[in-house]
Amino acid sequence: MNCDFEIFDLTKATQEERANWKRLSQLAFQLNHTMPETAEYEKLVKELFGNNIGENSRINAPIYGACLDQLKIGKNTSINYNLLAMARGGITIGDHVQIAANVQLLTNNHDPYQRMVLPCKPIVIDDGVWIGAGATILPGVKIGKHAIIGAGAVVSKDIPDYAVAVGNPAKVIKMLDKERFEKKYE
């Protein structure tokens, strides 16, 4: 994405911002301790994400993070257990995305000298992406349409459409056949 960092100083947070963080933290805790596949669970998902979660999308608790109201999820997307979404910089997840267990989406870092100052960059995960278990996506990364991120990968740079990327740091090891996806998802 190559956009500039947005800087957020935690010491200058307003009372409203702090109250919202508390509310989101408590909702996530409630969700993480509620029986899945119940009306109460679905109500908490709706309260936590509002209109930021698309039709037929599924989040399996537990989910952890900050600023979860900055996490936008498309339709028909599946997020497995133990997602860590540090979403202060904004996270956009497209349609038909699969995110395996123990994935970390990190939009912020800490200034090395002023640790309460957070440089933030958004993460964009395009339609049809599959992210393997334990992968970490770092600030400012865009993962292209139908890309696959291997289990345990650490993604620090943009990944193109239809690429398979693995390792630490993640490197593209092959390209998928675009024609095989268009009919299935379009």
Decide if 91 is inside a domain: yes
Decide if 181 is inside a domain: yes
**Quick one: residue 4, left, alpha or beta (phi over 0 = left, psi -120 to 50 = alpha)?**
beta
Decide if 153 is inside a domain: yes
Domain of residue 130: give its range. Answer: 6-185
Helix (H) or strand (E) holding 161: none
Amino acid at 57: S
Q: Is 110 a catalytic residue?
A: yes
Assign 52 to helix, strand or coil. helix
Helices (H), 33-141: 39-49
76-90: average pLDDT: 97
The model's pTM: 0.93
pLDDT at 133: 98
Cβ-based burial of 161 (10 A; exposed 0-12, middle 13-18, buried ≥19): middle
Distance of alpha carbon 171 from alpha carbon 18, whole angstroms? 38
79-83: average pLDDT: 97
Instruction: Compute the radius of gyration of the chain from its Cα atoms.
Output: 17
Decide if 141 is inside a domain: yes
Tens digit of pLDDT for each residue in 151-183?
999 999 999 999 999 999 999 999 999 988 766
> What domain count does the chain have?
1
Q: What's 87's domain CATH number?
A: 2.160.10.10
pLDDT at 180: 84
Q: Are 76 and 54 in contact (CB under 8 A)?
A: yes
Annotated catalytic residue within 33, 96, 110, 146: 110
Q: Write down the residue that tokens 């865009």 correspond to.
A: 142
Q: How many Cβ atoms are within 10 Å of 173's Cβ, its own excluded?
A: 12
Tens digit of pLDDT for each residue in 12-64?
989 999 999 999 999 999 999 999 999 999 999 999 998 999 999 999 999 99
Decide if 1 is inside a domain: no
